[in-house]
Amino acid sequence: MPSPPSPLPPPPERRRFRQRLLTWYRRHGRDLPWRRTDDPYHILVSEIMLQQTQVDRVLPKYAEWLDKYPSFQALAEANESDVTSTWYPLGYNIRPRRLHSIAREAVAHYGGQLPADEETLLSFEGIGAYTAGAIRSFAFRQRAAILDTNVARVLFRIFIARGDPKSHAMKKRLWQLSAVLVPVRHVFDFNQALMDFGATVCVARKPKCATCPMAKGCRSYPFVADRPA
């Protein structure tokens, strides 16, 4: 029988977590170009490029892309073969095609902008729950949760630490956790911090537990790579 879901952390624990994470981010967060904008198009381009691709490979392509296609309108007017060849060598050619189709839909139905509400964002082919949360929190500063691989790993290790992290029930629980943790203020920084923390400290193999600011209270501390979940 599957074990019952672990309880959500009480409000004082949520507050402590937010404070520690934001303090860490203000000192150690990476300065990345998509963190200096709240333009929905720029945010969308970065989010789609970052799917399954490392930041250092995305950086030059992000600049080149925005130079060539500075807006939804410019991208919508480009032809598909030009779009996929500009994407090269990032790979996964489904991604530029999706971006192109989102641009055409944004121009055709939303005046060349992205809508801010979750339901309409999710109606775009190529925008799933994570991307919708990223656009809402980064571009529109709404209190929206995100859950990608890095965030799921961080939240699982810190707050849960047992059970199958890949199960459907766990994913649902992790979304709930992300939703109760996201603060009313500083949403942009908080969600960026969660992703950065997972990419640089609580990494998949060999997380930096010895110097981790979340070690106190982390249910996985110290994380041992081959320990059963």
Binding residues for ligand SF4 (CB under 6 A): 157-158, 201-202, 207-209, 212, 214-215, 218, 220-221, 223
21, 187 Cβ separation under 8 angstroms: no
Residue pointed to by tokens 């990476």: 30
Choose the catalytic residue: 13, 47, 64, 119: 47
104/130 Cα distance (integer angstroms): 21
CB atoms within 10 A of CB 133: 25
At its nearest, how many Å lie between ligand SF4 and the CB of residue 158? 5
Of 121, 109, 104, nearest to 40 by C-alpha is 121
| Least distance between ligand SF4 and beta carbon 19 (Å) | 15
The distance of closest approach from Cβ of residue 155 to ligand SF4 in the complex, given in angstroms and rounded to an integer, is: 10
Query: Whose CA is closest to 178, among 200, 154, 199, 196?
Result: 154
Q: Compute the least distance from the CB of residue 133 to ligand SF4, in Å.
A: 21
CB of 118 to ligand SF4, least distance (A): 29
Task: Write the DSSP symbol of residue 156.
Answer: I
Joined together, the tokens standing for residue 89 give 């060598």
Residue 125 falls in the annotated catalytic set? no
Which of 40, 207 has the CB closer to ligand SF4?
A: 207
The DSSP code sequence of 71-97 is SHHHHHHS-HHHHHHHHTTS--THHHH
Q: Which is nearer to ligand SF4, 177 or 202 (CB)?
A: 202
Tell me whether residue 1 or residue 210 sits nearer to ligand SF4 (CB atom).
210
* Cα 36 from Cα 130, distance rounded (Å): 20
Compare residues 92 and 221 and give the one whose CB is closer to ligand SF4: 221
Q: Please, which residue, 44 or 194, has the CB nearer to ligand SF4?
A: 194
Specify the 3-state DSSP secondary structure of 174: helix
Question: What DSSP state is assigned to residue 161?
Answer: -
- Please list the active-site residues: 47
